[in-house]
Structure 1
Amino acid sequence: MSNIIIGTAGHIDHGKTALIKALNGFEGDSTNEEKQRGITIDLSFSNLTKGQQNIAFIDVPGHEKLVKNMIAGAFGFDYVMIVVSAAEGIKPQTVEHLEIINLLGLKEIIVVITKKDLVTLEQLEEKKEQLLMFLDTFDFEIKFIHEVSIYEKESIEKLKNSLFSINNSIKQEENFFRYYVDRVFSPKGIGTVVTGTILGKKIELNEKIFICDSQMESKIKNIQVHNINALEANISNRAALNLQGVNINQIKRGDLITKKGHIRGFDGIDISFKCLKDKKLHHNQTYTLFIGAKKVEVKVLLFDCITTLETGYATLKADEKLYCIFGEKIILRNANDTICGGKVLNPIIDPMKKNQKRRLLEALDNSDFTAAYKELLDAHKKGLGIISSTQRFALSHERAIEFANELENVFVDVKELVIYPMETKDFIKDFIKIIYTKNTYALLSNASINLRLKWASTAFIQSALDELVNEDFLTRDVSLYKNSNIKEDFTKELETVFLHRLKQEDITPTAPYNIYDDLDIDRKLGDDILKSLTAKKQVIRLQHNLFIHFESLNKIVKEMKNIIKEDGFIDISNFKTRFDLSRKYLITYLDYLDNYSNIKKVENRRVFV
């Protein structure tokens, strides 16, 4: 089934809600306050179906004080139906709504002149001409224009037929599911239900989802598309989702639902903006940001300016995390005054130098991702995650990898999804050279180096090791690398080094990994050396991570037996008065005494049998 979303726009009392009712019978003004005041206060949702075609309507309020609600609905529109009364023509909210949808990049419009029965044909033509002349000042694409009266069934049917001639959504399908919540309610016995518009890939029944703002995971218990149970909801579907395990107080209008791992939140975003005529954006001033169905107060920090700008770049700072993607449209308002529209350029804030940031924003503004990657890699010399391209550039992982492979002087780790500037490989090579220069008998593996350079992927490290082998600096021995100047097998030499080290440490030996790191040898090799020395009884293993030279162990055991002879027992207290050791060593040596048949444990003391 093809799905499109058509939103209404226009001045209060120009007949938007009455027109929707004439088209599909839906009564939009359903609350008591709406009925009493005779105006639409909040968004209302309905649909019109013909065969395999479905049109969803989002009817928005036209009152100047309710523009915030209009904006919340406009983010989901595919097309906009501009409704203008033939009796009144263009009015203030007609203008403001047109300005807002223009700022949001909504170009495809349908023009409906209502209440034609209240004017003469000449007056109708005059209002139509005035409206078209005004619309020419924008760059809208008018799909068609109709003059109707809700009391003239033929005009409504003609409009219906024209609406059904539109059979496709203009939204770009993203590579993951996104959904802004615009309503939250809790029907008795059902649990929490939210409504919104599917912006990305489809969502299916029983799929896991993630609520960004509350950092909660949930599952889709039920899906309804226009009040009908469904197995899935696709792009441009108006969908109600029944969320599992979510309390109604844990989610609100404006929250973003997506899949876990796709979007991170930041308390700032970078945008490009353009103000409406005769409006300016002030530096360091607070405005209301509208993005998706979300409304939040932000401080505007103009780029390269401390006064005012009509167009340019800015950083928006909020007291809460903002979850958005590259290219999303935004609106900034001051009280009831719309100031400007903009586009999210940088949804992930990185520490960057000012000149770097300017070049990055310019590249993003032109969708020049190659140049943007270059600037980001200059700031992320230890690697830039390709997975973040979903949010940074609204690219799929596959397309992001393609872009990465087209870049020059980079290493792309497709498995780990990380891009490294090639100059960083020189850093890794220098790091390795220092180890082998300092310690001629160093013997490390890729994994050992990765433990020291946790930010570097094993594939990137391997690339550096391969180059060092080709340069005859290192020689590979299975998975280990040794200095190419050392030709002999020095494993036995390392056993001697280990024994010497443990003998020096005496009764306070350090953990094996400390020895491995100090000697610059691979952990597996170190484990093998200790196993060999243990098998020869030259080293005794007391605990998982505690090995001692056999002479040191014999010495401390002899001293412990002397304590028993002198005091009649040994425990932690009298042991520590003779040897100022940590509790770890004291307990380990006391436990070792249990191996002797002539010593037994009585409560916390060891005594001779």
Structure 2
Amino acid sequence: MSNIIIGTAGHIDHGKTALIKALNGFEGDSTNEEKQRGITIDLSFSNLSRANQNIAFIDVPGHEKLVKNMIAGAFGFDYVMLVVSAAEGIKPQTIEHIQIINLLGLKEIIVVLTKKDLVSSEELETQKQTIQKFLSEFDFEIKFISAVSIYDESSIVSLKEQLFSIENSTKSEENFFRYYVDRVFSPKGIGTVVTGTVLGKACELNEKVYIAQIQKEVKLKNIQVHNENVMEANISNRAALNLQGVNINQIKKGDLITKKGYIRGFDGIDIAFTCLKDKKLKHNQTYSLFIGAKKVEVKTLLFDGTQDKETGYATLKADEKLYTIFGEKVILRSGNDTICGGKVLNPVIDPMKKPQKKSLLEALDKNDFVSAYKVLLEVHKKGLGIISSTQRFALSHSQAIEFANKLDNVFIDEKDLVIYPLKTQDEVKDFIKNIYTKNQYALLSSASINLRLKWASINFIQSVLNELIKEKFLIAEDSLYKSANLKQDIKKDLKDIVLNRLKKEDIEPTAPYNIYDDLDIDRKLGDTILKSLTSNKQVVRLQHNLFIHGESLNKVIKIMREIIKEDGYIEISNFKKRVELSRKYLISYLDYLDNFSDIKKIGNKRYFII
């Protein structure tokens, strides 16, 4: 089914809500306050369907004090239906709504002149021309202009036909599902239900989604689109989601529901902004930021000085985390005044110098991702992760790699999605050389080096190891690497070294991984060595990470038997008086004692069987 969302715009009392009712019978002004005052206070949602076509309507308030509610709905529009009374023409809220629509980047407009029965055909034509002239000042595409009266059924039928001739949703599929909550409620016996517009990608019944603001994953227990239960909700569907695993008090209007792992929150974002005519954005001043259905107070920090600006770049700082993606549109308001619109350029805040930030924003403003990579690589000298490219650049991982391939002097790890400056290889090379120079018996793999250099991916480390082989500094033995100066098989020598290490440590042996790291040997190789020593009875495994030399174990067993002879029993307290060991070792040795046939355990004490 094709889906489009049409949002209304226009001055108060120009007939937006009445027009929706004439089209689909939906009574938008449902609350007592709305009916008494005769104005739409909050957003209302309804739809009109025919065959495989569905049109969802978002009817927004026209009152100047309720523009914030209008913005909350406008981010989800595919098309704007500008409603103008033929009797009154363009009014203040008509202008502000259109300015906001323009700032949000919405381009496709439907113009409906209402109350045509109140004017002559000449006056009607004059209003059409006036509206066209007004809209020509913006970069809009007018789909059609229609004149109607709710008392003239044929005009409503004609408008319906024109609406159904409109193409499918104008929203393009993104890399992941996003959904701004615009209502939260809890029907009796149902649980927590939210409504909103599906963005990015579809969501499916029973899948897990992520509430960003509370960092919680929940399950989609049910999905409704226009009051019908469905298996999935697609882009531009107005959908009600029944969330399992979250309380109604935990979620609120403006929260973002998405997929886990795609978006991180930051207390600031960088934007490019353009102010409305005769308006300027002020430095270090607090404004209301509208993004999606969310409203939050932010402080603006302008680039290039502190003078008020009509256009430019700014950082917006908030007292809470902002979850945004590259290219999202925002509105900044002061009180009841709309000041400017903006585009999120930098949703991932990195510590960087101001000139670097300026270069980054200029590149992002032009969608010049190659130049943006170059700036970010100056900041992320130990690798730029492009796993966040979906949020940072609104690019899929494959698209992000395509741009990375246009860079010079970089190593691209396509598996781990990291770009490294080639000069960083020298740092890894020096680190590896230092190990083998200090320890001629070092025998490591790329994985074991990665445990020490966590910022360097295994593939990046492998590229350095390959260089060291070419330089004849290392020799490869299967997946391990040894010094090129050692010609003999050093694995037997390492076995003796590990055994002697355990013998020296006696009854307080080091954990295996610590031994491997101290000896600069690969962990898998170390495990193989210990397994061999255990098989030969030279070493005994007491626990998962506790191995002891056989002679040392016999020594501690002799001590434990002496304690039983002297005290009649052994437990942790009298064992510790004779041997200064940590509780970990004491418990392990006592447990091992249970393997002997002449020992019985009663409670926490061990006795000789008489």
TM-score interval for Structure 1 and Structure 2 normalised by the shorter chain: over 0.9
Alignment match, 1:425: 425
5 Å-filtered alignment, 1:281-430, equals: 281-430=281-430
- In structure 2, what is the Cα distance between the partners aligned to 1:348 and 1:185? 32
State the secondary structure of the residue aligned to 1:444: coil
Amino acid of the structure 2 residue aligned with 1:363? A
Amino acid of the structure 2 residue aligned with 1:208? K
5 Å-filtered alignment, 1:4-153, equals: 4-153=4-153
**Could you say if the C-alpha distance between residues 492 and 46 of structure 1 is closer, same or farther in structure 2, counting changes exceeding 3 Å?**
closer
**Could you say if the C-alpha distance between residues 467 and 283 of structure 1 is closer, same or farther in structure 2, counting changes exceeding 3 Å?**
same
Deviations 1:276-298 (A, max 9, x none): 12222222222111111111112
Of stretches 587-596 and 523-532 in structure 1, the one that deviates more from structure 2 is 587-596
Alignment match, 1:506: 506
- In structure 1, what is the Cα distance between the partners aligned to 2:228 and 2:179? 19
Shift of 1:551: 4.7
Alignment match, 1:472: 472
Deviations 1:276-334 (A, max 9, x none): 12222222222111111111112222234334322111222222222221111000111
State the secondary structure of the residue aligned to 2:240: strand
- In structure 1, what is the Cα distance between the partners aligned to 2:519 and 2:277? 70
Determine whether 1:266 maps to 2:261: no
State the secondary structure of the residue aligned to 2:405: helix
- In structure 1, what is the Cα distance between the partners aligned to 2:238 and 2:205? 15
Shift of 1:183: 2.0
- In structure 2, what is the Cα distance between the partners aligned to 1:51 and 1:561? 88
Amino acid of the structure 2 residue aligned with 1:347? P
**Could you say if the C-alpha distance between residues 68 and 578 of structure 1 is closer, same or farther in structure 2, counting changes exceeding 3 Å?**
same
Shift of 1:562: 5.7
After TM superposition, the score normalised by the length of structure 1 is 0.92
Shift of 1:540: 4.3
**Could you say if the C-alpha distance between residues 538 and 205 of structure 1 is closer, same or farther in structure 2, counting changes exceeding 3 Å?**
closer
Deviations 1:356-401 (A, max 9, x none): 2222111111111122222223323333333311111112233223
State the secondary structure of the residue aligned to 2:494: helix
Alignment match, 2:582: 582
State the secondary structure of the residue aligned to 1:143: strand
Amino acid of the structure 2 residue aligned with 1:81? M
- In structure 1, what is the Cα distance between the partners aligned to 2:533 and 2:91? 92
Deviations 1:553-582 (A, max 9, x none): 555555566666666666544554444333
**Could you say if the C-alpha distance between residues 164 and 546 of structure 1 is closer, same or farther in structure 2, counting changes exceeding 3 Å?**
closer
**Could you say if the C-alpha distance between residues 279 and 433 of structure 1 is closer, same or farther in structure 2, counting changes exceeding 3 Å?**
same
**Could you say if the C-alpha distance between residues 445 and 33 of structure 1 is closer, same or farther in structure 2, counting changes exceeding 3 Å?**
same
Asked whether the 8 Å contact 1:53–1:167 carries over to 2, the reply is no
Of stretches 64-73 and 270-279 in structure 1, the one that deviates more from structure 2 is 270-279
- In structure 2, what is the Cα distance between the partners aligned to 1:23 and 1:54? 13
State the secondary structure of the residue aligned to 2:252: coil
- In structure 2, what is the Cα distance between the partners aligned to 1:548 and 1:368? 60
Shift of 1:476: 0.8
**Could you say if the C-alpha distance between residues 542 and 236 of structure 1 is closer, same or farther in structure 2, counting changes exceeding 3 Å?**
closer
5 Å-filtered alignment, 1:105-254, equals: 105-254=105-254
Shift of 1:9: 0.9
- In structure 2, what is the Cα distance between the partners aligned to 1:336 and 1:14? 21
Amino acid of the structure 2 residue aligned with 1:545? N
- In structure 1, what is the Cα distance between the partners aligned to 2:481 and 2:174? 45
Of stretches 498-507 and 97-106 in structure 1, the one that deviates more from structure 2 is 498-507
**Could you say if the C-alpha distance between residues 597 and 119 of structure 1 is closer, same or farther in structure 2, counting changes exceeding 3 Å?**
closer
**Could you say if the C-alpha distance between residues 252 and 541 of structure 1 is closer, same or farther in structure 2, counting changes exceeding 3 Å?**
closer
- In structure 1, what is the Cα distance between the partners aligned to 2:214 and 2:76? 22
Asked whether the 8 Å contact 1:265–1:323 carries over to 2, the reply is yes
**Could you say if the C-alpha distance between residues 591 and 179 of structure 1 is closer, same or farther in structure 2, counting changes exceeding 3 Å?**
closer
Asked whether the 8 Å contact 2:569–2:605 carries over to 1, the reply is no
After TM superposition, the score normalised by the length of structure 2 is 0.92
Amino acid of the structure 1 residue aligned with 2:191? G
Of stretches 450-459 and 484-493 in structure 1, the one that deviates more from structure 2 is 450-459
- In structure 1, what is the Cα distance between the partners aligned to 2:115 and 2:596? 105
**Could you say if the C-alpha distance between residues 522 and 38 of structure 1 is closer, same or farther in structure 2, counting changes exceeding 3 Å?**
same
Of stretches 417-426 and 563-572 in structure 1, the one that deviates more from structure 2 is 563-572
- In structure 2, what is the Cα distance between the partners aligned to 1:231 and 1:224? 9
- In structure 2, what is the Cα distance between the partners aligned to 1:334 and 1:352? 30
- In structure 2, what is the Cα distance between the partners aligned to 1:28 and 1:584? 70
Shift of 1:12: 0.7
List gaps (5 residues or longer) in structure 2: none
**Could you say if the C-alpha distance between residues 301 and 594 of structure 1 is closer, same or farther in structure 2, counting changes exceeding 3 Å?**
same
Asked whether the 8 Å contact 2:84–2:114 carries over to 1, the reply is yes
Shift of 1:263: 1.8
Amino acid of the structure 1 residue aligned with 2:342? G
Amino acid of the structure 2 residue aligned with 1:604? K
Alignment match, 2:605: 604
State the secondary structure of the residue aligned to 1:282: coil
- In structure 1, what is the Cα distance between the partners aligned to 2:606 and 2:402? 69
Asked whether the 8 Å contact 1:571–1:606 carries over to 2, the reply is no
State the secondary structure of the residue aligned to 1:502: helix
Amino acid of the structure 1 residue aligned with 2:226? H
Amino acid of the structure 2 residue aligned with 1:129? Q
- In structure 1, what is the Cα distance between the partners aligned to 2:503 and 2:187? 74
Of stretches 438-447 and 402-411 in structure 1, the one that deviates more from structure 2 is 402-411
Shift of 1:519: 1.2
**Could you say if the C-alpha distance between residues 420 and 120 of structure 1 is closer, same or farther in structure 2, counting changes exceeding 3 Å?**
same
Shift of 1:601: 6.1
- In structure 2, what is the Cα distance between the partners aligned to 1:468 and 1:591? 48
Of stretches 329-338 and 409-418 in structure 1, the one that deviates more from structure 2 is 409-418
Amino acid of the structure 2 residue aligned with 1:60? V
Shift of 1:552: 4.3
State the secondary structure of the residue aligned to 1:390: helix
5 Å-filtered alignment, 1:501-540, equals: 501-540=501-540
Shift of 1:598: 6.8
Asked whether the 8 Å contact 1:254–1:294 carries over to 2, the reply is yes
Determine whether 1:2 maps to 2:2: yes
- Paired positions, count: 609
State the secondary structure of the residue aligned to 2:387: helix
- In structure 1, what is the Cα distance between the partners aligned to 2:15 and 2:374? 52
- In structure 1, what is the Cα distance between the partners aligned to 2:478 and 2:121? 91
Shift of 1:456: 2.7
- In structure 2, what is the Cα distance between the partners aligned to 1:362 and 1:162? 42
**Could you say if the C-alpha distance between residues 535 and 288 of structure 1 is closer, same or farther in structure 2, counting changes exceeding 3 Å?**
same
**Could you say if the C-alpha distance between residues 605 and 22 of structure 1 is closer, same or farther in structure 2, counting changes exceeding 3 Å?**
closer
Asked whether the 8 Å contact 1:47–1:226 carries over to 2, the reply is yes
Of stretches 147-156 and 570-579 in structure 1, the one that deviates more from structure 2 is 570-579
Shift of 1:410: 2.8
- In structure 2, what is the Cα distance between the partners aligned to 1:566 and 1:5? 87
**Could you say if the C-alpha distance between residues 435 and 41 of structure 1 is closer, same or farther in structure 2, counting changes exceeding 3 Å?**
same
Shift of 1:489: 1.6
Asked whether the 8 Å contact 2:3–2:169 carries over to 1, the reply is yes
- In structure 2, what is the Cα distance between the partners aligned to 1:575 and 1:2? 78
Amino acid of the structure 2 residue aligned with 1:51? A
Deviations 1:440-471 (A, max 9, x none): 11111222112212333322222222221122
Identical counterparts, % of pairs: 77
State the secondary structure of the residue aligned to 1:387: coil
CA RMSD of aligned residues (A): 2.6
List gaps (5 residues or longer) in structure 1: none
Alignment match, 1:445: 445
State the secondary structure of the residue aligned to 1:308: coil
Deviations 1:395-422 (A, max 9, x none): 2233223333343333333333333333
